Amino acid sequence: MRVGWPFFAVVLCACSGPAAPDVEVCRDAVHRLCLPEPCALVTPLFPVGKSCESELLAASGCARDDFAFKSPDRTRFLSCRVALLRAGGDRETHPSCEDVAESFERCPDVVRFYQGKP
Amino acid sequence: MRRLPTLALLLTASGCVHVEATSRVERGPLLRTFDRPLVVEGGVRATVTAEWPKLFVALRGYDLCRTQTIEEYAEEHTTETSSAAAGPALSAGVVNTVAGLVLLAITPAVSTAADTRAIDSGGHYGASARQYTMGWGIGTLIVGVPALTVGLIAYLAQGETTEVKKVEQVSSQKEATCNERDVDGPLALLSEQGLAAEAKPAVGARAEFTNDELKTTAVERVSFFGRDAELDDASRRVLDAFTACRQLERQQVASVSALGTGALMGRLERVRACRSLRPAEMAEAGRALEDEVKRRREGGDPGAFEVGPNVLSYEDAVSAYAPRLKFVAGGEDLARLDAAAELAGKPALAEGIITEAVTANIGVLQLGGKSVFLFLPTQKAWGGDFPQGTRVEAVAVVVGVQTLGERTLPLLRAIWLRPAFGAP
């Protein structure tokens, strides 16, 4: 019986790997938001004529390799990111603008985080 | 305890196996034939005799010795078991189990690096190739092992078993009474009216009853320990005669001429039966009754003729009365009509020509050189008239000798009459 439970645990966990670092989670979210063409709600977050991704990464601090979530914390950020994954889990899948709007509406703190505002 | 899950798995898997069983029985060669003697419960036989006014009953018990001829055969009972699921389950089990084992076997050689190209909603990287391999390996094993178990159980359960048994068949049977012995016990004489008398004779002794002891007029059966004892024909006749004598004792009549014809015929029948026990006493009474019956026949009273079984055709009459006498021109039995009184009550076939009508229902039948009176019961409808000169054949009963006018001839009562072959 002792052998049985690890087997089940392995099967259950077979679909996911280790936890990704905070910086990778943050960069993944920014990358998805900035996939061209960015939604209308995303455009105001960075200056006109600048690169969306580089501006948001810089403003949020995710450009630094030692980035770690403080406010919002990792759990909060992940819950707000869920809507962006609805269109697909692949990193290059553009989220629908409705999902982006829902995420921004539910998580104004995360929107401020992208803009570098506390 | 560690073996419990394995055992449970096997039991569960065996429950899924549907095994069909077909049985057939084939009879083999005859091995031997032998006789088997059996003794089964028989019964009690009563022998009834009488010396008026006493009735004697002797009892003998017996068994039935039965000999059965037994034929002994070899019989093959073959049971075929098969399972339609064995093949598919076995192949699916083998494939999945092997695939699972192979996947698990190559797991150490597969990369443990997580898939960093994607991060799920929980913030985790994608699973490593090793995790996928192990997951698929365990999954296929989960499918494969039970299928393999079910398949193996079904496969092993298939087959054919043959059991040879010896069977017996009774081919013939003979039965005979045996172990005859004297018996003792409660004996009773019975009739439809109830118990006539009881006795408990000693072993080998006859039970004796006197006429005065009997509580009912008739005695019809003998019982022993509450069960009817067997009676042979002679014993039945004795009981009938004894009953007839008792009835006559209780039905005294002042004058036979005062009796109705039905009562007269009934009394005559009882007197004839009783005559075997009391010949001297019944002789005079019998004569008086027969004279009265003859007188009434001469008067044309149809009730004075004895009635036999009712029949609906000539063939019925032959079947019901089984005549042994045949009165035809030139026949051997014709001469016996000279002593017709001795033939009274005997059925006969008669073939001749109706020559004369004496009364409305009595005619003269010419049988070669002999003539007889033929009485035709008026209620009969034989489908035609039989005028003078008609050739007829009849099933009839000899009544006796009858005098009509100046002639005395044998009298036959027709049971069935029909035109004979060759009639004009």
Rounded CA gap, B18 and B110, in Å? 41
Residue range B27-39: mean pLDDT, rounded: 92
Least confident of A11-15, B181-185, B216-220, B355-359: A11-15
Dump pLDDT digits (tens) for B98-156.
Answer: 999 999 999 999 998 888 888 998 999 988 899 889 989 999 999 999 899 888 888 88
- In chain A, the percentage of residues whose pLDDT exceeds 70 is 87
Q: Which residues of A touch B121 (CB under 8 A)?
A: 78, 81-82, 85
Residue range B148-167: mean pLDDT, rounded: 89
* The pLDDT of residue B377: 74
A61: left (phi > 0), else alpha (psi -120 to 50), else beta? left
* The pLDDT of residue B54: 92
Dump pLDDT digits (tens) for B286-306.
Answer: 888 888 888 887 776 767 776
pLDDT score of B423 more than 50: no
Helical packing angle, B4-16 and B129-157, nearest 10°: 60
B127 and A CB contact within 8 Å: yes
The residue in chain A having the minimum alpha-carbon distance to the alpha carbon of residue B135 is A11
The residue in chain B having the minimum alpha-carbon distance to the alpha carbon of residue A74 is B123
ipTM entry: 0.84
Q: Do residue B138 and residue A10 have CB atoms under 8 angstroms apart? A: yes
Distances (CA, A) of B203 to A78, B50, B206: 115, 20, 9
Q: Do residue B131 and residue A14 have CB atoms under 8 angstroms apart? A: yes
pLDDT score of A5 more than 60: no
Least confident of A11-15, B186-190, B290-294, B406-410: A11-15
Average pLDDT across chain B, whole number:
86
A48 and B CB contact within 8 Å: no
Nearest to B122 among A14, A78, A90 (CB): A78
* The pLDDT of residue B424: 44
Residue at token pair 């003539």: B371
Q: Which residues of A touch B127 (CB under 8 A)?
A: 13-17
pLDDT score of B266 more than 90: no
Distances (CA, A) of A63 to A23, A26, A35, A115, B169: 8, 9, 17, 13, 102
Q: Which residues of A touch B5 (CB under 8 A)?
A: 1, 4
pTM (2 d.p.)? 0.46
The residue in chain A having the minimum alpha-carbon distance to the alpha carbon of residue B120 is A89
> Per-residue confidence at B268, pLDDT binned at 50, 70, 90?
confident
Encode burial over B354-378: b for 16+ CB neighbours within 10 A, e otherwise. Answer: beeebeebbbbbebeebbbbbbbee
* The pLDDT of residue B1: 52
Nearest to B126 among A7, A16, A81 (CB): A16
Q: Which two tokens stand for residue B14?
A: 């065996």
Single-letter residue type at B84: A
B396 and A CB contact within 8 Å: no
Dump pLDDT digits (tens) for A32-90.
Answer: 999 998 999 999 888 888 899 999 999 999 999 999 999 899 999 999 999 999 998 88
Residue range B86-90: mean pLDDT, rounded: 89
B114 and A CB contact within 8 Å: yes
Q: What is the nearest CA distance from B114 to chain A, expressed in angstroms? A: 5
* The pLDDT of residue B67: 93
pLDDT score of A1 more than 50: no
Q: What is the nearest CA distance from A86 to chain B, expressed in angstroms? A: 10
* The pLDDT of residue B272: 86
